[in-house]
Structure 1
Amino acid sequence: MTIELIVIGKTDSKEIAALVELYARRVNHYCRFAVTALPDVRNTKSMTVRQQRTAEGEAILRQLTDGDYVTLLDERGEEYRSVEFALWLQKRLNSGVKRLVLVIGGPYGFSDEVYARADGRLSLSRMTFSHQIVRAIFAEQIYRAFTILNNEPYHHE
């Protein structure tokens, strides 16, 4: 299986980018893992929030194929403890899905079309995080899930 993390825009923090890269390398020991940063939408000052979500949504949808299992990181998504998330990931791995696509949207969330295409939603917390820092947090959680599934001494309960 391939796991792809799709994000909107580049991070302007070298530290966050370095953390994402660190965990991406670690996850690649278990499966193919890629982070795809889609370009920021231009001229957002002249757009409504809905127009910006629609433009970002079109870019996201262009990245998807029919067989993808698509999960959105969304504040209204399902919350899991790390061990529960690892089991969720194991179910996806066992299901025969070729590509698991995890999507972190822009600052205003997702368009209706992206929600309609999604197979599920996850939430990291009821708290709000910047869409940039979420990249590092979620990449770490994917790595943590694999260490849990492989009984490695990274996660402590």
Structure 2
Amino acid sequence: MKITLVTVGKIKERYFEDAIKEYSKRLGRYCKLDIVQVQDEKTPDGASEAVERQIKDKEGQRILSNIKDGAYVIALAIEGRMLSSEELASRLQKLGVDGISHIVFVIGGSLGLSDEVMGRADYALSFSKMTFPHQLMRVVLLEQIYRSYRIMAGEPYHK
């Protein structure tokens, strides 16, 4: 299976980069992983709703241009469905059984995802009702994907 992360913004902290590299390496034995970073837009202080919508739309167009036709898209969104690690593993396994060969996970910028990106998503996934820095979410998402593959393989890691 091919897994792609399409994310907004660059990783700035080395410790996040190191964690992402570690989980990318671990995932290499289970799937083909690609991480695509699209440029984020600067949000001016006190931006109006219209300006924020324009920013999300610009970032959204960059995201959508990196999603291939036929890919199954999972958008990370606060309003999405929360799953346990076992449920995520089961969902990924079912997608594979159903013939899905490419899954794209999308992590938006500080303002979230545009309506167009959410409309393209096949599934909205939430890790919490809390807001997390998008850089940290990359690490958390990669760890959960890795955990899912370990669960699917019946390997000791989970717990």
- Tell me, yes or no, if structure 1 residue 139 matches structure 2 residue 134: no
- Any residues of structure 2 matched to 1:46-85 within 5 Å, and which? 48-85=51-88
SS of equivalent residue, structure 1 residue 45:
coil
Q: Deviations over 1:33-56 (max 9, x none)?
A: 111111222x54397111110000
SS of equivalent residue, structure 2 residue 134:
coil
- Aligned residue among 68, 88, 103 for 1:100: 103
Determine the structure 2 residue equivalent to 1:15: 15
- Aligned residue among 136, 154, 157 for 2:157: 154
Identity %: 40
Q: Deviations over 1:17-66 (max 9, x none)?
A: 1111111111111010111111222x543971111100000001101122
Ranges in structure 1 where 5+ consecutive residues have no aligned partner: none
Paired with 1:67 and 1:109, the residues of 2 have a C-alpha distance of 23
Ranges in structure 2 where 5+ consecutive residues have no aligned partner: none
Q: What root-mean-square deviation, in Å, do the aligned CA atoms of Structure 1 and Structure 2 show?
A: 1.4
Determine the structure 2 residue equivalent to 1:34: 34
Runs of 4 or more, structure 1, over 4 Å off, are: none
Determine the structure 2 residue equivalent to 1:45: 44
How many residues matched?
Answer: 155
- Tell me, yes or no, if structure 1 residue 127 matches structure 2 residue 108: no
Aligned residue type for 1:97:
I
